[in-house]
């Protein structure tokens, strides 16, 4: 079986299954809005872009903040309550899969697993939204392909392809990842990240090494580099503006990180990957 960065390849996991029906959309709920209750019939990814929501799932309550994506699974009773102090905007993609192989999500516990929303997974969900798929479409149609890819990419980013006994990521690591992605332009320290994760810096470092093979600060600089690459490829912003938006100290430091990651200068990377159709912004 092929592997990517130590994870089971998203191509190989649960090979052979396809959604019978797919739906996707984007919606903004006003302050204090609610939805449900309902019984979930699909595998649904919900990506929060602003605000927050409280989810009552089979009588237990979970909170998700902007910058996270979480997975809902069939057969559970759900009731959503949205932020009282601000609008809550989210995108979603849902796939109806009557018989999903056990090795895809079978090891998960009762809680809806949530992770920090990466630019790559956000883009997959937005592609699904733009396709506006509804209803049938078994097998290899484009909507089914994108929905399947989003679910498997979530599986990979949640670490479900490599974790022993299907143990979900530690909540402190998830909080740290969300905080970093929401504050990537700010001059963060390990103390700042650990405070947001509600653990000590030393403990957070141990958790990151155990789960991700890296440190919180290395994760921060990797996220800054990825965001810089995205902005180079998807916007016409000047390099200096990108440097500021991504939290780099100097243009030289940014160029060094981009070259280490890609083998190219920022200018050469932009020329090779220019794709202005996607910015990652909402709407």
Residue 91 CA from chain centroid, whole number:
12
For the chain, the straight-line distance linking the first and the last C-alpha, in angstroms and rounded, comes to 38
pLDDT for 17 beyond 50: yes
CATH architecture entry for 170-283: Orthogonal Bundle (1.10)
pLDDT for 96 beyond 60: yes
The per-residue pLDDT for range 245-264, each reduced to its tens digit, is: 999 989 999 999 999 888 88
pLDDT of 276: 52
Residues of the chain with CATH 1.10.10.60: 170-283
Rounded to 10°, the helix 142-157/119-131 angle is: 160
pLDDT for 282 beyond 90: no
pLDDT of 133: 60
Assigned token pair, 52:
């927050």
pLDDT bracket for residue 225 (50, 70, 90): very high
E strand intervals along 51-201: 52-57, 60-65, 68-72, 77-82, 88-96, 114-116
Choice among 21-30, 110-119, 127-136, 209-218 with the minimum mean pLDDT: 127-136
pLDDT for 140 beyond 70: no
pLDDT bracket for residue 279 (50, 70, 90): very low
Residues of the chain with CATH 2.60.120.280: 3-166
- Cβ atoms of residues 66 and 52 within 8 Å: yes
Q: What is the pTM of this model?
A: 0.58
Task: For domain 3-166, give the CATH number.
Answer: 2.60.120.280
């Amino acid at each position: 079986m092929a592997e990517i960065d130590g994870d089971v390849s998203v191509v190989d996991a649960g090979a052979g299954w396809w959604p019978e029906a797919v739906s996707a959309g984007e919606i903004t709920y006003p302050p204090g809005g609610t939805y449900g209750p309902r019984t979930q019939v699909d595998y649904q990814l919900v990506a929060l872009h602003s605000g927050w929501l409280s989810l009552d799932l089979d009588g237990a309550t979970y909170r998700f903040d902007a910058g996270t994506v979480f997975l809902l699974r069939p057969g559970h009773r759900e009731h959503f309550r949205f932020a009282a102090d601000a609008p809550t905007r989210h995108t979603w993609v849902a796939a109806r899969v009557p018989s999903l192989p056990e090795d895809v999500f079978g090891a998960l516990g009762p809680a809806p697993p949530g992770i920090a929303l990466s630019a790559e997974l956000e883009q997959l969900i937005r592609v699904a939204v733009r396709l506006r798929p509804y209803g049938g479409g078994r097998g290899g149609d484009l909507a089914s392909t994108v929905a399947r890819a989003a679910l498997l990419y979530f599986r990979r980013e949640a670490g479900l392809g490599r974790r022993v006994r299907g143990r979900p990521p530690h909540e402190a690591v998830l909080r740290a990842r969300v905080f970093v992605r929401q504050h990537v332009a700010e001059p963060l320290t390990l103390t700042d990240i650990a405070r947001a994760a509600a653990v000590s810096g030393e403990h957070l470092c141990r958790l990151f090494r155990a789960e991700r093979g890296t440190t919180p600060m290395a994760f921060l600089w990797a996220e800054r580099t990825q965001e810089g690459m995205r902005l180079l490829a998807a916007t016409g912003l000047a390099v200096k503006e990108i440097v500021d938006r991504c939290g780099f100290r100097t243009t030289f430091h940014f160029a060094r990180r981009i070259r280490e990651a890609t083998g190219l200068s920022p200018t050469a990377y932009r020329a090779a990957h220019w794709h202005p159709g996607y910015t990652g912004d909402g709407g």
